Structure 1
């Protein structure tokens, strides 16, 4: 188990598993965190700084929004 301080960027699903994709402040890079392994999330007062698409990565061609899915 590790403790990470990350700024949530987006959620993604691949291979039937969900991930939190976040800016990891420890590594100063994007990291994928498996939702099933996240034990606790805490809201902080730390400001969020936006990151470029080059830092986050371009979504794969088959990616689609889950907004509106029910």
Structure 2
């Protein structure tokens, strides 16, 4: 694993967000936990640990809807 990848994985783990690989971020639940730590009104109760693509996409849609609600300019594509 490249050093910067290790650093990012370690950073998430230091925050109490358990990931094993950088690819785990694509599932959305780790990103949701991070946003929840930054912005406490994030609806973490709707987030699932995904086991299929449908659940990955659902997590990402929840993130996108929340970012739009708080008027962030970031849009997932």
Where on the TM-score scale, by shorter chain, does this alignment land: which range?
under 0.3
What TM-score does the superposition give when structure 1 sets the normalisation length?
0.26
Instruction: Say which structure is richer in strand.
Output: 1
What TM-score does the superposition give when structure 2 sets the normalisation length?
0.25
